Homo-oligomer: A and B are copies of this chain.
């Protein structure tokens, strides 16, 4: 009814759509190539990038819920893509470290990620791409 409100111009709606489009485009890759979920991909990417971490550190890096991390770690472990090492000083903690297989999957997906990134960059244009990235980063402070 009347009112100045328009769902299609509402930023949360707009943002969600763009985000889904973008996420799903890349999800097809890790899903088809390795049958991975998004949580699994993120955990793999974080471990690949930073080396051995604890589950809590992965939560901090990714913003994933700790139960998602717990489950993702479990299923990555089942594939033998990572190993746990109990921390000697604090026995609650496990260091999680990618195996050679895990690293090689990570490398393969990194390449795909870089290619995907290039595709999006070409689509938006270099300047706009940069502008968008910067704008999105500001939301961390919202």
Contact = CB atoms under 8 A, between A and B. Distances in A.
Given A4-B114, A103-B1, A22 B12 contact: yes
- Chain A, interface residues (CB within 8 Å), range: 35 or more
Contacts of A11: 22, 117, 120, 129, 132-133, 136
Contact of A17 (B1, B6, B124, B140): B140
Interface string A33-59: 000000000100110110100000000
Interface in A1-29: 1, 3-23, 25-26
- For the complex of A and B, the 6 pairs showing the least CB-CB separation, nearest first, are A18-B139, A19-B19, A5-B110, A18-B136, A15-B19, A14-B136
Interface of A: 1, 3-23, 25-26, 42, 45-46, 48-49, 51, 61-63, 103, 106-107, 110, 113-114, 116-117, 120, 123-124, 128-129, 131-133, 135-140, 142
